[in-house]
Amino acid sequence: MGYRSEVRIAATREGYDLMCERVDAVSEGLDSYPLMGSDRQPDFFDEEDGCVVFGWDDIKWYEGLLCDVTNVAEALGELDEQDIPYEFCRIGESWDDIEFCTSGDNENLSIHAEPSVAIEVF
């Protein structure tokens, strides 16, 4: 069990490829199951006009605690350092648990991070 989220990331195709290379490099030789990479597409993937949106549904997004999540977050940091535009959106189980951040000129992305979760209120 555990707390789960829906995560979507929008970036240029160049940014996505760079993230895959970074995750491949840090995952090499480890006994892990990377969330993305040159041989592994994320659970959700869409591409349009040189941009991609990708992500995961129902994922334990514990950055700093889970190696594979941390690797994706660090790869996203590479985009920030290189001024490659991206959007990151995470929606948790609670109605007020939403995280959204952008970097670079994200207005030029042809598609955007738009999670599709319906939050249940108990």
Write the pLDDT tens digit of every residue in 82-107: 999 999 999 999 888 999 999 988 88
**Which range of residues forms the domain containing residue 58?**
5-108
Is the pLDDT assigned to residue 111 strictly greater than 50? yes
Q: Which residues have a Cβ under 8 Å from the Cβ of 11 and sit 6 or more positions away?
A: 19, 51, 52, 79, 84, 85, 86, 87, 109
* CA–CA–CA angle 35, 40, 45 (5° rounding): 80
pTM value? 0.90
Is the pLDDT assigned to residue 119 strictly greater than 70? no
Instruction: For residue 102, tell me if it sits in a domain.
Output: yes
Instruction: For residue 121, tell me if it sits in a domain.
Output: no
Q: Domain total for the chain?
A: 1
Instruction: For residue 17, tell me if it sits in a domain.
Output: yes
> How many other C-beta atoms are found inside a 10 Å radius of the C-beta of residue 9?
25
Instruction: For residue 95, tell me if it sits in a domain.
Output: yes
Instruction: For residue 89, tell me if it sits in a domain.
Output: yes
Q: How confident is the model at residue 122 (pLDDT cuts 50, 70, 90)?
A: very low
Is the pLDDT assigned to residue 43 strictly greater than 60? yes
Is the pLDDT assigned to residue 115 strictly greater than 70? no
Instruction: For residue 119, tell me if it sits in a domain.
Output: no
Instruction: For residue 72, tell me if it sits in a domain.
Output: yes
Instruction: For residue 21, tell me if it sits in a domain.
Output: yes
